[in-house]
Chains A and B, each alone.
Chain A
Amino acid sequence: MTLAVDSLRADLAALVGPSHVLVDPAACAAFSVDGKIPDCVVAPSTAEQVAAVLRYSSEHHLALIPRGKGTKLSMGNPPRRYDVALSLGELKRVIHYEPADLTISVEAGMTFGKFQNLVGQSGLWLPLDPRGGAEASIGGIIAANAAGPLRQGFGGPRDMVLGLKIATTDGKIAKTGGRVVKNVAGYDLGKLLTGSFGTLGVIVEASLKLFPKPPERATFAMRAGTLGIARDLRRSILRSPLDALRLVLLDSPATALLDVSAQAQEHTGPELWIELGGSHRVIERCAFELRRLASAVGAPLVRVEGAEKAWEHVSNLAHWLQQKYRDVTVVKAALPVVASEEFLSRAQQEADAERIALASFAQVGVGIVHVCTLQETLNASVAGLVARLRQAATDLGGTLVIEHCPVDLKGHVDVWGAGGDDLDAMRKMKLSWDPNEVLSPGRFVGGI
């Protein structure tokens, strides 16, 4: 940062209009990231303005963090520098929408809630349940490749992005991919940008593939009682012809927190929740099949009524748990499918040893396990626990990242863990897109 705030404001105001620039410290504080408060918040209203702001920042060696609604910004290492918050909330237009083609192009700042409402009118949806839920922005969901439990049935944002418009740090707007559902022209830079956490370029527009909404959906809970039975059930479900939309193993504290009270009662031990979709007849067949699979391992099966709220919580863990446990830490282990239950068991042992209360939510069909520490104030032993959980994930052939934690913890543990032999290629990639380290410096893997 080499500029005085006043000249920064004047320069940015010239690019985006004075009413789109904030420098008031109190207002800027709302845009802090990991405790760092930017000098300035800028909210461009067109893609060209975003590009202009990027070029300006690059020329003046400013550090900028792009954001949609900020629902996932707790993910990442603390920024090395942070001068300007780039809010994309003003970019919220629909650029192109043809329901019969099952494709849509929207600007990045549109919220997921608005988006789903719009396409829902034609019986369509984007089958994602990302962190941040309805509040999240489309651009943010893509930048974080934020997939929730619906990944079981549909994959993640990576599989739904058809094309992107990207503002680059040299002040240009580039396109990758297109609007049609099948396209292999050119390098697939959409994949590169998806999950790049705003460190390469700024997504200003996205073309997405839409899906018809299942006519009905139903959630069933199977009370496995033990992890061993839960594993057997997971195996038999994945081998069966059932196509689960979501499949999540909840430990006892997790079921208690979800408090689907009518059913929770005195029950303890892990429960496997499965959501299925289709016509009434298809759901009946699924229920029949599930009952058969569950009774084979002696697990009672119940249909969960009003599961939607519970699913919202499960896909937005940090936000939900924070209301009760201010200093909650949420880690995500990504594992081979076979290792999910083993990881849960090791996590529990480690937490017991440290006397830290946990709740776990495991997408066992895709090997994604969220472990949450239920704490109101950060305990010094959490850093050690996270390190040991990461070791457990590595031992089992997976990786572990911290999705959300108090800033203090980030001083002790790297959010992403170690990179692989492709880290050098990633660094070169960053350098070629953002040579002046404008975008979210230091927040990503390996200090990128």
Chain B
Amino acid sequence: MGMACASPDRSRGCAVSAQRTNPRGLPGAKERVHHDAMRSRTPKFAALTTIRGRDILRVRAFGVELASVWHSGLVCHTGFFVHSRFSRFAMKSKGLFRELARIIGEDGVLWRQEDLMLYEYDALSSVRQPDVVVFPRKTEHVVQIAKLALRHDLPLVARGAGTGLSGGSVATEGGILLVFSRMKRILEIDLENQRARVQPGVVNLDLSLAVADAGYYFAPDPSSQKACTIGGNVAENSGGPHTLAYGVTTNHVLALEVVLPDGEVIHTGASHWDRPGYDLTGVFVGSEGTLGIITEATVRLSRKPEAVKTLLAIYDQVVGATRTVAAITARGITPAALEMMDGFCLRAVEEATHAGYPMDCAAVLLIEVEGLKEAVEEHADEIEAVCRENQAREVRRAKSAEERDLLWKGRKTAFGALGRISPNYYVQDGVIPRTRLPEMLEFIGSIEKKFDLHIGNIFHAGDGNLHPLIMYDERNREQTARVGKAAREIIMRCVEMGGSITGEHGVGLEKSDLMPLIFSAVDLELMGRIKNLFNPQGRLNPGKLLPTGKMCGELRGGLAGGGPV
């Protein structure tokens, strides 16, 4: 992160937060762990500086004079704050708080230091606190808050559950953080049209559960689906293991209600197909909260398949697993999901979840096929044959729904499991053409050796979406520096192979300065034009998605990793 270079003490805080196994972003035990860990593991002086820094900021917000003395000290230690608009806010804070409270009530505004602390990070990292957190309950609240932010020239950042892995929902420049946890109503379920209209704070899995008995579900299934919100999914264009067959969020969103930074409300798309005009829905999905604030979404519901089969193919050589991936698609089969985990990750997962994964293998593929039962049987048989042709030692089939759930639980909680064995890890989200997987695995192996690091591999293999996890201990400065270099070489290799820097986690804060690796100045200028159209002052989620050129260091967003994918 930018702060990593400017502010060593804060970066330590970030890295600590990266270990959280559940990135729900809700107040509670996890945060205590986070802060306790920060206190216990940070040199006393540095911790003191940081914490004092916060105190001082709060004090300043309420105009106590003492603050300014310490403020200059703070700027030295955390260069980040130099750019913040905080002071502007502080000057007006009392009046602003009153105005916000008038809009949504006092119980809808958080402004105390200890409350704001809980909103300073997402699953990527801890960056800085918003100046105030608000909990709108309806679109009109968002409109009023947007207008207020416009009047006072304040940054405006939207946040769902804070499970994002690219720093998309952290208020890098402070300002107003809109948290959608009180806009969580499912407004309409229309099964015959296979549509649902939801508020942005609806939890992904809750929507699927709401229609499960009728035989439907919401297809995008990020691993954080028990916590993450549909608003966040829309903003980040989230993926998940089952995107291989069903596509990512954008393929399942039909219409949006969006509040623009000046408070104007627009409705894009329609609940039916082919509404005439530009596909603005498609532009807002994945725009990471930098173009508008989504206050309602109409999404597609999918019908549950008649049959599902889950296979676990076990390999003694990683290369067999990677070769199997392209061999399956070459047979004309598109599995619903095709995941790979290497032995290193598996052992961690197995110890944490006891899902029945083998402890002694080099890699497994977790493969799921869905559809008519005849098709599923045929495909499962064919896939099994392909696995064996590629030297799978064993191919197991889940015999029951429970067994299947357990296998998936192992996969979806894998990142958390790794948190048990390494103080820190850095996760990447590069994408390559799936035929290059064997080559890529070999390359990652060579990087491991070259930089003397442990790298675990958990991939959405069917999509060629890689999540290499680089283990490290942030207290070891020298090792941490090696991680940055290794990560950069891996992402460069993805780009050379014709791939992308992010398949589903988003660019956010973490990768905005990597954008020039895959986009030319012309491409970026065009994107900048789109941003200027909707967000001309850059107050909406500042510092995200597009390169800012402000940051230093190799990997902006630094070394932090966190929740599940």
Contacts and interface: CB of A to CB of B under 8 A. Distances in A.
Given A192-B283, A211-B334, A185 B501 contact: yes
Query: Which interface class (under 10, 10 to 19, 20 to 34, 35 or more) fits B?
Result: 35 or more
Nearest to A209: B247
B199 interface: no
Contact of A182 (B243, B268, B285, B333): B243
Nearest to A210: B329
Interface in B224-283: 236-237, 239, 243, 247-248, 250-251, 260, 265-268, 270-283
B400 interface: no
A336 B193 contact: yes
A405 B51 CA distance: 71
A128 interface: no
Given A336-B271, A425-B534, A235 B192 contact: yes
Interface in A188-219: 188-192, 194-196, 200, 211-213, 215
A368 B278 contact: no
Contacts of B274: 145, 332, 334, 368, 399, 401
A168 interface: yes
Contacts of A151: 273
Contact of A334 (B260, B273, B529): B273
Contact of B375 (A101, A189, A279, A416): A279
Contact of B502 (A183, A196, A213, A279): A183
Given A213-B332, A366-B273, A432-B529, A178 B498 contact: yes
Nearest to B501: A185
Interface stretch (A79-87, A111-119, A239-247, A310-318): A239-247
A186 B195 CA distance: 27
A120 interface: no
Given A211-B334, A243-B371, A158 B500 contact: no
A215 B279 contact: no
Given A174-B526, A184-B286, A397-B271, A179 B498 contact: yes
B539 interface: no
Interface stretch (A39-47, A253-261, A280-288, A377-385): A280-288
Interface in A430-448: 432-433, 444-446
Interface string A271-295: 0000000110110011000000000
Contacts, number: 257
A187 to B, nearest CB: 5
Contacts of A176: 523, 526
Interface residues of A, number: 86
Contact of B523 (A103, A175, A332, A336): A175
Given A98-B433, A151-B273, A194 B282 contact: yes
A66 interface: no
A192 B332 contact: no
A94 to B, nearest CB: 15
Interface string B485-522: 00000000000001111111111000100010011101
B90 interface: no
B278 A192 contact: yes
Contacts of B460: 182
B287 to A, nearest CB: 6
Contacts of B503: 180, 182-184
Contacts of A190: 282
Contacts of B505: 184
B526 A189 contact: yes
Contact of A100 (B251, B270, B435): B435
Nearest to A401: B276
Interface string A113-144: 00000000001000000000000000000000
A185 B534 contact: no
A159 B502 CA distance: 19
Contacts of A102: 329
B332 A123 contact: yes
A285 B375 CA distance: 10
B463 interface: yes
A238 B533 CA distance: 41
A337 B533 CA distance: 34
Contacts of B501: 185
Contact of B515 (A186, A235, A421): A186
Contact of A338 (B193, B215, B243, B520): B193
A282 B374 contact: yes
Given A168-B526, A186-B507, A241-B306, A399 B272 contact: yes
Given A101-B433, A212-B329, A337-B192, A182 B276 contact: no
A279 B434 CA distance: 26
Nearest to A416: B276
Given A100-B330, A175-B519, A422-B266, A445 B276 contact: yes
From B215, B268, B326, B375, residue with most partner A Cβ within 10 Å: B375
Contact of A419 (B277, B332, B371): B277
A184 B518 contact: no
Contacts of B504: 182, 184
B431 A182 contact: yes
Given A168-B526, A181-B463, 10 more contacts: A155-B247, A156-B273, A178-B499, A182-B465, A184-B286, A185-B500, A281-B378, A399-B270, A401-B274, A422-B267
